Structures are given as structure tokens and as C-alpha cells.
Structure 1
Amino acid sequence: MDQILSSKAETGVLGLDDILSGGLTRRHVFLLEGSPGTGKTTVALQFLLEGAKLGERCLYISLSESDEELRDCARSHGMVIGDGIEIFELVPPESLLDADQQQSLLYSSDLELGETTKLIFEAFERVRPQRVVIDSLSEIRLLAQSSLRYRRQILALKHFFSRSDATVLLLDDMTSENFDKTVHSVVHGVIHLEQLAPDYGSERRRLRVIKYRGQSFRGGYHDFIIRTGGVAVFPRLRAIEHKTGFERTSLSSGLPEFDGLLGGGIERGSSTLLIGPAGTGKSLFALQFVNAAVARGEKAAAFIFDEELGLLFSRTKSMGIDLEKLRDDGHIHIEQLDAAELSPGEFAQRVRDRVASFDAKTVIIDSVNGYQAAMPEENALILHMHELLQYLNRQGANTFLTVAQHGLVGDMKSPVDVTYLADSVILLRYFEALGKVRRAVSVIKKRTGPHEDTIREFRISNKGLTLGEPLSGFQGVLRGVPSFIGDQQPLLPMTDKDGDHS
């Protein structure tokens, strides 16, 4: 068995072994702590099931839940507790439940604690397991009744298990009024689980490795979910670990006038922010690059926060882009996301999976407003966005983000400023001219090369986007109410035989 097993005991929890640099160091005692409902029992069951799959003997010592309750928990996730896992349901001796036999001169806790420890040792000696779970320490803490006796009891358990080849996982539900962190200093590693309740939407869960002796690990908080099948952890993204080589070529949008505005196109492996008020066409500009990518034989992925997919398909089809067909033909992966049900870590993992498995070279996030709703803390949003954009850039993918500004004309306000994160920033505006509401586009930033500093009018019709000549005869277009300063300014016709989608 020793020749087969590695030096680390894999947890069987998706993503957790990555955070732990391979798993739990064998023949050591670890603590898994968290309030009720954070998923400790599920993680423990996955840990034992992974061991049983490798042919290891496993023991679950339960001081709080019954055998049937544990098996019901496993069945709810589609898990089967087989012959490789023994559940030892530790109950008080019958003499301690009989009122006539209870001691009056001695503290009953002295007898209960000693009897409990004895039963744990006997169960271990009988099974001789390689993996052990003790659920939970809160019961032992209550029996000990004092910090000193509790510490001595934990040390006794640790010394007993250290003489064996077992990897031990202690569970603690942290329900004591005076929570004692004694175990933190005794065990080899500590994993802390948290459950957060936002003002709206489902609960959010995250974990943090507080301690791991002699081993590097991925620090910070990591989002996780409990779903059918068990716990899945989404390791915090660090873009620096995912650099790949690619050629930084210039990519066309498929519209010569737009490419001219961009100084020849967008460089591969860069990020572009499309910012403007609602309805100006931010999504359509981003999808223009999707069309161009598909024409080059590449794949794309779109993550939609704000719009129902059926409506998006219908709307874009009337503008000459059949997204539904592109999806059905395997050219684009398109996914509708619910910000109220999605953590930032899970979203980042979904994007990574699509880039890796689908080989998407163009990624659309529509919009950052919806992404912000998934995590209201603006500072954390900036950090998440920075790592995600850096990761995508390092994979040679082009990322297009949209931000809807508050207001329609005049002074625009953005819910969050991410302009400094993007390599290119495209500004869209409404403006009034000759009694009509029109649209204008301008490139206000491009890190990767020169670009036009002009403002161009554009129209949206059933043939898609049409860009006009630079608006050199107007001043104040970006403010929404320009003044005419030239002799004659060619504007795009507001109606034609193709149909107007203004």
C-alpha cells in the first residue's frame, strides 16, 4: 500500500487539492472548521470516499450524527458509502443514560470524556484505517468543560494518531460560546469554511487555508459551492501562473471604417472596454468582433448577465448576426448568468474552462454592471477583474467588456471605473443633430498603438453597423448637444431601404 499511495492524501474535492498543493500530508492531523451549514460533513465524506477509491481503509467517527443521517447525506449527493468506509456512531454508554446510575460525588463529565476517548481508540484499533474523520470536536469540548482539559484531550488524540499511518481530519462546528482555538496550535493544518448571506440572492460560501506546516499553499479566500455530487472549490485566480506564448498580431473587426478608427484593429491578447449609456450598441460592437473571429476560423465565448438569450438571439438576428446558428454550429459558446446566484470565483472558473476546453479566442463579458452585482465590493471587483483580464490576455484571447453608464446625454456616470484596466477603451454616445437622436463612437485609449482621435457617427440597421466619416463639423458631440462649426457636415441618413434600428 505504501508503494501505491503518494505522500499526499487527495481530498476528492474539486479544486481543493490545487489550493493545498496536492492534498493533505499523510500521517498528520488536520482541522476542518466552520459554522453549521458550511459543508464540513460533505467535504469529510468526499475525503473518505477518495481514500476508499484508492483501496484505503477509512473510518468515520461520529459524535453528533447518526449512521443513517450520514448515509442520507451521502445519498443526496449520489455518493455510496461502501465496504471501504466504516461509520462508528459513538453514543454515551447506557449506564450514563440511566438516572439511577449517574454519579453524584464525581463530575459525570469526567466519566463521559474518558469513556468517549476510550471508545474512539478502540474503534481505531479495530479498523486500523489510513483515513479518519472525527465529527465533531464541539462534543469533546463540551465534555471537557475547561480549556486545559480540552487541550490535553486533543494532544492525547494527536499523540495516539501520530503512532499510526492515519491521516486524520477533525471537524469543528464552532458552536461553543467561548470558541477555543487550542486545536489551531496542535494540528498540522487548518481549513476554515465560511457561509455569507448577501442582502439578496443565495448564500455564498468561501474557504481559507489558515495554516499548513511545512507546505506552501494558495492563500486568501476561495469561493466554493455545494451541489449535487459534493463540494466544488474555485481556487483564486493568479494570472501570473498561466502565461502562454502567442504571436501578437493585429485583428480586424470586419468593418474597414471601424478598423481605421482603431488604428488598424485590435491586437491579439488584449482587452477592450465598450462604455456608453444603455442602447447605444455596446453589445453589437463586441459581437462584430465575434463575427470576425468566426470568419477567421476561431471560436468565441459570450457570458451574458443582463439579457435573456431568446431576446438576444432575436434582436441580433434582425441586425445580421445569427448568434443561435453560430452557437448550434459550434462556433460560439454563449451562456446566460444570474448574478444573484453566482460568486466571482465560480464565474472566473467558468471563463477559464471555456478558454481551455472550448479554445475560445474571443471572450465577451456583457456587462460589468452584472458582474459587479455578483460582488458588490468595488475594490474586490477591481482585483478580480484585473486577474481575469490578465489571465485571458496571457492565453492570447481578446476580451470585450461592456459597461452601461447612468444617463443618456450630458454628464455620464459609471457604476465602476475599470477604464484603466482595459488596453483599449471605446466610447459610445448619443447626440442630437438636426432634430434627430444619433449615435457616435470614438476610441479614447489604445495601449498597443496609435488610433484615430476623431469621432464618427454610426448607425445600426438590419445589415449591422455602418460607420460614417469623422464628425469634423461638430463640436461637443460627446456632451450630447453639439454645436455646428463647419460649412457642411455629411451625416448618415436616418432611414434607408435596409431599415433603421435606432
Structure 2
Amino acid sequence: MDAKQTSRKASTGVDGLDDILSGGLAPGHVFLLEGNPGTGKTTMALSFLLAGARAGERGLYITLSETEQELRDGAASHGWEINGNIEVFEVAPPESLLDAGQQQSLLYASDLELGETVKRILEAFERVRPDRIVLDSLSEIRLLAQGSLRYRRQILMLRHYFARHGATVLLLDDLTSDAMDKTVHSLVHGVIRLEELAPAYGTERRRLRIGKYRGQSFRGGYHDFVIRKGGVTVFPRLVASEHRKPFTRQRMSSGIASLDALLGGGIEQGSSTLVLGPAGTGKSTFALQFLVAAVRRGEKAALFVFDEELGLLFDRTRALGFDLEAMREAGSLQIEQVDAAELSPGEFAHRVRQRVAHLGARTVLIDSLNGYQAAMPEENALILHIHELLQYLNRQGATTFLTVAQHGLVGDMRTPVDITYLADTVILLRYFEAMGNVRRAVSVIKKRTGHHETSIREFRFGDRGISLGEPLHDFQGVLRGVPIFTANAMLQATETMDDGH
């Protein structure tokens, strides 16, 4: 969309939502914002009016369900103040209906006649002459109408009235009176639906979907969003095909000659590498080797840790010669500990994009996908999210490393999520038994971007990091965990470990 077309849109004031709507809301039209109570409708509506006020437009918030004070208190919780170009009009019952002589203690908007309510709404509009209007909520009008035909006619009248005056209108519907009623959908210019999900564990998840937008392209599907102090932030669904950055593909060294030899010379920039193996085999350390090598070359990198506490990670890797804490303090390594129970997949993808697009990270490590899977409602969605994220990173020229812990220690291994077909390179780590000791072996089972060794090498960890031995040519069954070997072969393999770094 060109800048001229975007400038004609009315901004919603919600971070990320204008991007989904291709610039915002078309001025002079009526839009529906629907969702159950607590999904964020009022917060979004206030953001819409505040964005208009910043642009010099007058706003009017007509409330039939909340009091003016409740509305102002809600705005204050986000650090907002409603004044100046925004007026709040509370549709309250007439004073005569609150008189003690009427034998009624309190009446809400639903106790008023529909005609009286609409009359007050129009009077408020004529007095303020706003550019933007919020009507909260349609549930009250639906109850007053007491029938779908009368309700439809009333909404149609309001739509025509507001359209004649060129106002941009946001109708709120909390779906409490009739969640299945789609009467307004056919009358409005666009529909935004908000949803709240309650997982078995962790915080609630919120998402939205654009159900309709006449004459305008928009980003379809579900988009995660959060409500925090300061308003709503929407994380547009990542579409990798929309992001492509030209770069020169180069080969990245791990800093270990024997590991580079196993990989056919190293890892290509703009590719993805999956490090696979059971718990404790060193998946994180292998991936960190490439991350540290990139930082030592003067590049920036990003590390997302799902499973390990950062203090323990710093102490453990420092013993291997990796001072991650110093790299972070120098600004060359961005480290974020991710709580899967508190983070939606959309927000995680957004954070990764920020590290790459705004902070210039060219190497990204996600450790591990087991933790990432915990943030997903189902595995099928996980595969789609990972696919788009990897495609995006590849097209930005970022080299991505991912780890997956398999179930089991030796023999038959089970993978909780199989993404080997998505990754460009797959590094397989295994335990195996030799002379009464548990040893570790590494092999490369896939590399799309070039040749690689088909051999299996033993490796160890020391104060200088990873040490790889010569290929275990005389061994059979290493990947099964119980190899067949000769004494001479074992002696040869042990001797080569001393100078394999």
C-alpha cells in the first residue's frame, strides 16, 4: 500500500492492528468490534479515540453499560487521561425514573425505551459533532429492541445517520445478550472479533481476527495480542513471503576445524540448523559454539532460552570458555529467557523479528523447541509457526540454530516434534557405551546447502570447549548406543581426542 492511501485511514491507535488492517479504518464508515467481556474492547476503543485526538479530531464515547467514572478509571490504569478532544457521554436513566416515588432504586439503560435511548445518542452527537464515535455497547440496544427486525432497522438508521456526517464509528458488542446474532455483520463496513483462550496452565491467551473489511485487503487469520499497562499490543501473524532482504550467502565457521570438516566446511549464512539428541548430550553447547564464533567475528547474535536458568547457563558455559555474560554486557549478544507459560507464539515471533530487524542479529539460537512447543495449543500449529519463522529468518540472512531434546537415552529415540524436514542442516548427537564408559558421538545426517561427512565422530567437552576425534570407521552400531568395536580401534579413537580441537 502506498503512503497516500495509508494516510487516508483512521489509525486505531493499537500497536500492530493498523498493519493487519492495511493502514487502519476507512474514515466515514461504521465498524464492529466484538468479543466476550474481558477481551479488551474498551481498551481498544479508547486507543482509537486517543489516536484521533492526537490527530486533532474530536471524539465521543457513548457508554450504555459502564459509568463515566468507571471508564475514566479504566483509562487511568493505562496512564491515559480523557479530556480535551474526547467527551464521554453516559446514557443514564432519566431522573424521574430514579425518583423514590417511582418505587425503583436503580434503573440501567436496558430499562429505558429504545426511542429515548437513541434520541439521547443523537442529541449527544449533534452537540459534540465528533469525527470519531464509540458506541458501547450493542447488547443494550439489542435488549431494548426486543426483536431482530427492530434491532436491524435501528442499527441501519444509526449507520446512515453517522455516514451522512462523515464520522468513523466503532460499535462494541460484548455478545452477552445473543452471541449467535450476526445482524450487524451485514450492515457494518468491517468486523474485528476478539477472543480469549484459557489454557490448562499459564496465563490467558488473547487473539483477534478480521472477519470482514469491505473493499480492502487485510491480513487474514488469527493474530495474538496482549493487554498490558499502556494499552493493547497486537502481534500480526508472520508471513515470511512479505519479508525478503538481499544478502550475500557466505559460509560460517564454528571455530573448530574438525567440526567444520564434519559439516563440509561450515554452515551457510541464511540457513537453519537443527541439533537433535537426548538430554545431556550437549545440544545447547554445540549450537552455542556457532553463536560464540559469530560474536568473535564481530557479528551480533540473539539467544532465546526456554529451558535453562540464565545464571546456571552462564556458569556452565564459562567453564567451557564461553563468557556469555560478558558478550551480553558488550551488546554483541542479546539473551532472553522465555517463559513459555506466559508467552504466546505470536509474541515470541515478534520478539525474534525485533532482534533481527532492529538490533541486527545475524545468528539466532532457539533453545529449545521442547519449550517452544509448550507455548502451543497443538503440534500442527507449532509446525506452521516454526516454518514461517525459519523462512523469515532465512530470507533476512540470519543463520538459525534450534535444539530438540529426544525422549530416551540410547536405542530407540522419540522426538516430540519432528521438524527435520524443515531444517537445512541436521546434527545428530548420541550416547554410546564403550569399555564400561558412556561416550558421546556426533554425525551430520542432512545438509541441503552442500556436502558433508557421512562419518560418525566421538566428541568431548573440556575447558576449551568441544573436542572432536577422528571418524569412527571401525565401529558399528554407534547410533544404536551399543557399538561393536575392536581394542585397537578404541585405542586409536582415544589417542586422537587429545589433538582433535
Structure 2 SS opposite 1:8:
coil
User: What is the CA-CA distance between 1:491 and the residue it aligns to?
Assistant: 2.4
Contact 2:57-2:131 at 8 Å conserved across structures? yes
Q: State how 1:393-408 maps to structure 2 within 5 Å.
A: 393-408=394-409
User: Take 1:396 and 1:494, find their aligned partners in 2: how far apart are those partners?
Assistant: 36
TM-score by length of 2: 0.95
User: Take 1:426 and 1:413, find their aligned partners in 2: how far apart are those partners?
Assistant: 16
The answer for the alignment partner of 2:306 in structure 1 is 305
The answer for the alignment partner of 1:149 in structure 2 is 150
Q: State how 1:339-418 maps to structure 2 within 5 Å.
A: 339-418=340-419
The answer for the alignment partner of 2:162 in structure 1 is 161
* Matching residue's letter, 2:419: V
Q: Deviations over 1:275-300 (max 9, x none)?
A: 00011111111111112111221000
User: Take 2:110 and 2:134, find their aligned partners in 1: how far apart are those partners?
Assistant: 23
Gap runs ≥5 in structure 2: 104-108
Q: Deviations over 1:441-482 (max 9, x none)?
A: 000000001100000000001111000000111100000111
Change (3 A) 1:178 1:226: closer
Contact 2:469-2:497 at 8 Å conserved across structures? no
User: Take 1:46 and 1:493, find their aligned partners in 2: how far apart are those partners?
Assistant: 68
User: What is the CA-CA distance between 1:493 and the residue it aligns to?
Assistant: 6.5
User: Take 1:372 and 1:381, find their aligned partners in 2: how far apart are those partners?
Assistant: 7
Structure 2 SS opposite 1:347:
helix
Change (3 A) 1:179 1:348: same
* Matching residue's letter, 2:493: L
Aligned residues: 491
Structure 2 SS opposite 1:452:
coil
Change (3 A) 1:493 1:224: farther
User: Take 2:123 and 2:235, find their aligned partners in 1: how far apart are those partners?
Assistant: 38
Q: Deviations over 1:148-203 (max 9, x none)?
A: 11101101110110111210000000011463110000000000000000000000
Change (3 A) 1:110 1:14: closer
User: What is the CA-CA distance between 1:110 and the residue it aligns to?
Assistant: 10
User: Take 1:342 and 1:417, find their aligned partners in 2: how far apart are those partners?
Assistant: 22
TM-score by length of 1: 0.95
User: Take 1:400 and 1:101, find their aligned partners in 2: how far apart are those partners?
Assistant: 73
Structure 1 SS opposite 2:362:
strand
User: Take 2:46 and 2:165, find their aligned partners in 1: how far apart are those partners?
Assistant: 21
Structure 2 SS opposite 1:233:
strand
Q: State how 1:82-101 maps to structure 2 within 5 Å.
A: 82-97=83-98
The answer for the alignment partner of 1:195 in structure 2 is 196
User: What is the CA-CA distance between 1:267 and the residue it aligns to?
Assistant: 0.6
The answer for the alignment partner of 1:68 in structure 2 is 69
User: What is the CA-CA distance between 1:495 and the residue it aligns to?
Assistant: 10
The answer for the alignment partner of 2:106 in structure 1 is none
The answer for the alignment partner of 1:236 in structure 2 is 237
Contact 2:112-2:144 at 8 Å conserved across structures? no
Identity %: 73
The answer for the alignment partner of 1:292 in structure 2 is 293
Q: Deviations over 1:355-374 (max 9, x none)?
A: 01210000000000000000
User: Take 1:111 and 1:310, find their aligned partners in 2: how far apart are those partners?
Assistant: 62
Contact 1:458-1:492 at 8 Å conserved across structures? no
Contact 1:109-1:144 at 8 Å conserved across structures? no
Gap runs ≥5 in structure 1: 103-107, 497-502
The answer for the alignment partner of 2:226 in structure 1 is 225
Contact 1:431-1:480 at 8 Å conserved across structures? yes
Contact 2:110-2:140 at 8 Å conserved across structures? no
User: What is the CA-CA distance between 1:79 and the residue it aligns to?
Assistant: 1.1
The answer for the alignment partner of 1:447 in structure 2 is 448
* Matching residue's letter, 2:460: R
User: Take 1:99 and 1:377, find their aligned partners in 2: how far apart are those partners?
Assistant: 57
* Matching residue's letter, 1:492: T
Change (3 A) 1:253 1:386: same
The answer for the alignment partner of 2:120 in structure 1 is 119
The answer for the alignment partner of 1:492 in structure 2 is 494
User: What is the CA-CA distance between 1:376 and the residue it aligns to?
Assistant: 3.2
User: Take 1:6 and 1:450, find their aligned partners in 2: how far apart are those partners?
Assistant: 51
Structure 1 SS opposite 2:219:
coil
Q: Deviations over 1:56-84 (max 9, x none)?
A: 00000000111111111111111111211
Structure 2 SS opposite 1:47:
helix
1:468 aligns with 2:466: no
Q: Deviations over 1:380-411 (max 9, x none)?
A: 00000000000000000000000000111110
The answer for the alignment partner of 2:483 in structure 1 is 482
